[in-house]
């Protein structure tokens, strides 16, 4: 490529310009379809949500302008603080733990002469292709009083620990959290494993010659190359923690009481059980802003390190 650019012949250059113009036009064509989908199903609804957040609306009648009243009501909602607090706690399960676990696994499977664990990687990725609602229902069965987890505990002689997990004020939230780890670890591993493949083998060899063990190799060679992937994985999983809805709704509905309530469930309740669409939209906007702030922090941290 570099030698192509350095070639001075003007006609060739013009030809290249034309062809690259044509190529970029084709590129736009390819982009048009996803862009149209994104606009219609993501962008427009989002803009409309912002618009609706400034109205009182029950979903069918006439809208009444509400100014910032919906926002005031949402911010004063005593459940919101609990819900947002849960979101941050969920980030430990959806984001922090999966990233750490996936990094550890990456350390095991990368570098020269390491097993590639293709099958295990594929299995770990499976949760990504399952619909979240199916995941929720499946884990509900696993956590049931006579479900797999309690049965397994009894088999290993820990029957005393067995309990109806999702009915427990203490454990329901963590039970949902564990599902989060299960869901996102495979995704993080996919990011990191592909990132680790771009690390030149010579670096590992050099580290080995310098007497660096496996752990040292991971710390000094693999990890620095994964900065970008870590930021991306953290961002994607943090968003899934903050906007969690389906798995929580299916597994606990936010309960028992409000012990596992998250903003997503609150939005649903406001919009579809009390028909306060304006207020639900305001909460959705607040949630979007929260996500934006967190992602910005991640990007900033990622950039500083880079």
| Stretch touching other proteins by CB under 8 A, among 158-166, 176-184, 200-208, 291-299 | 158-166
**Of 90 and 280, CB closest to other proteins:** 280
CA-to-CA distance for 175 and 143, rounded, in angstroms? 8
Kindly state whether residue 240 participates in binding other proteins, applying the rule CB under 8 A.
Answer: no
Kindly state whether residue 77 participates in binding other proteins, applying the rule CB under 8 A.
Answer: no
Number of residues that bind other proteins (CB under 8 A): 55
Residue 148: CB atoms within 10 A of its CB come to 13
User: Site map for other proteins, 29-68, x if CB under 8 A?
Assistant: ------------x---xx-xx-xx---xxxxxxxx-----
Kindly state whether residue 82 participates in binding other proteins, applying the rule CB under 8 A.
Answer: no
Could you say which of 98, 107, 127, 132 contacts other proteins (CB under 8 A)?
Answer: 132
CA-to-CA distance for 133 and 251, rounded, in angstroms? 9
Is residue 187 within 8 A of residue 128, CB to CB? The reply is yes
| Stretch touching other proteins by CB under 8 A, among 93-101, 116-124, 143-151, 196-204 | 143-151
Kindly state whether residue 245 participates in binding other proteins, applying the rule CB under 8 A.
Answer: yes
Provide DSSP, 56-125: E--SSS--EE-TTHHHHHHHH-HHHHHHHHHHHHHHIIIIIHHHHHHHHHHHHH-STT----HHHHHHHH
Residue 14: CB atoms within 10 A of its CB come to 10
User: Site map for other proteins, 262-301, x if CB under 8 A?
Assistant: -----xxx-xxxxx-x--xx--x-----------------
Q: How far is the CB of 101 from other proteins (least distance, A)?
A: 27
Task: State in Å, rounded, how far the first CA of the chain is from the last one.
Answer: 26
Provide DSSP, 132-152: HHHHHHHHHHHHSTTSHHHHH
Cα angle: 274, vertex 275, 281; to 5 degrees: 110
Could you say which of 165, 173, 191, 218 contacts other proteins (CB under 8 A)?
Answer: 165
Q: How far is the CB of 305 from other proteins (least distance, A)?
A: 35
Instruction: For residue 277, report the phi and psi dihedrals to the nearest 5 degrees.
Output: -65, -40
Q: How far is the CB of 156 from other proteins (least distance, A)?
A: 21
Kindly state whether residue 128 participates in binding other proteins, applying the rule CB under 8 A.
Answer: no
Half-sphere exposure of 277 (CA within 13 A, CB side): 16
Task: Report the DSSP beta bridge partners of residue 257.
Answer: none
Kindly state whether residue 140 participates in binding other proteins, applying the rule CB under 8 A.
Answer: yes
Task: Report the DSSP beta bridge partners of residue 64.
Answer: 56
Could you say which of 125, 253, 288, 302 contacts other proteins (CB under 8 A)?
Answer: 253
Q: How far is the CB of 120 from other proteins (least distance, A)?
A: 30
Which chain residues interact with other proteins by CB under 8 A?
A: 41, 45-46, 48-49, 51-52, 56-63, 132-134, 136-137, 140, 143-145, 163-169, 172, 245-246, 249-250, 252-258, 267-269, 271-275, 277, 280-281, 284
């Amino acid at each position: 490529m570099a030698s192509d650019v350095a070639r001075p012949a003007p006609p060739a250059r013009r030809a290249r310009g034309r062809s690259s113009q044509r190529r970029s036009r084709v590129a736009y064509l390819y982009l048009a379809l996803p862009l149209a989908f994104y606009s219609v199903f993501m962008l427009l609804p989002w803009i409309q949500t912002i618009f609706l957040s400034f109205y009182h609306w029950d979903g069918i009648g006439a809208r009444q302008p509400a100014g910032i009243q919906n926002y005031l009501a949402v911010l004063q909602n005593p459940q919101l603080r609990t819900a947002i607090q849960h979101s941050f706690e969920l980030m430990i399960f959806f984001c922090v733990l999966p990233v750490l676990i996936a990094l550890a696994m990456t350390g095991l499977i990368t570098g020269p002469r390491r097993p590639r664990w293709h099958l295990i990687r594929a299995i770990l990725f499976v949760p990504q292709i399952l619909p979240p609602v199916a995941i929720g229902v499946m884990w509900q069965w696993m956590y049931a009083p006579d479900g797999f987890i309690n049965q397994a505990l009894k088999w290993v002689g820990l029957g005393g620990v067995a309990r109806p997990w999702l009915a427990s004020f203490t454990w329901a939230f963590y039970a949902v959290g564990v599902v989060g780890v299960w869901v996102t670890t495979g995704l993080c591993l996919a990011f990191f494993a592909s990132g680790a493949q771009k690390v030149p083998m010579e670096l590992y060899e050099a580290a080995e010659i310098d007497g660096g063990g496996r752990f040292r190799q991971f710390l000094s060679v693999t990890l620095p190359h994964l900065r970008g992937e870590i930021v991306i994985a953290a961002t994607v999983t943090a968003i899934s923690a903050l906007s969690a809805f389906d798995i929580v709704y299916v597994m606990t509905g936010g309960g028992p009481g409000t012990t596992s309530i998250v903003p997503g469930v609150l939005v649903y309740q406001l919009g579809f059980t009390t028909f306060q669409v304006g207020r639900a939209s305001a909460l959705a906007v607040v949630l979007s802003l929260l996500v934006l702030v967190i992602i910005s922090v991640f990007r900033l941290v990622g950039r500083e390190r880079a």
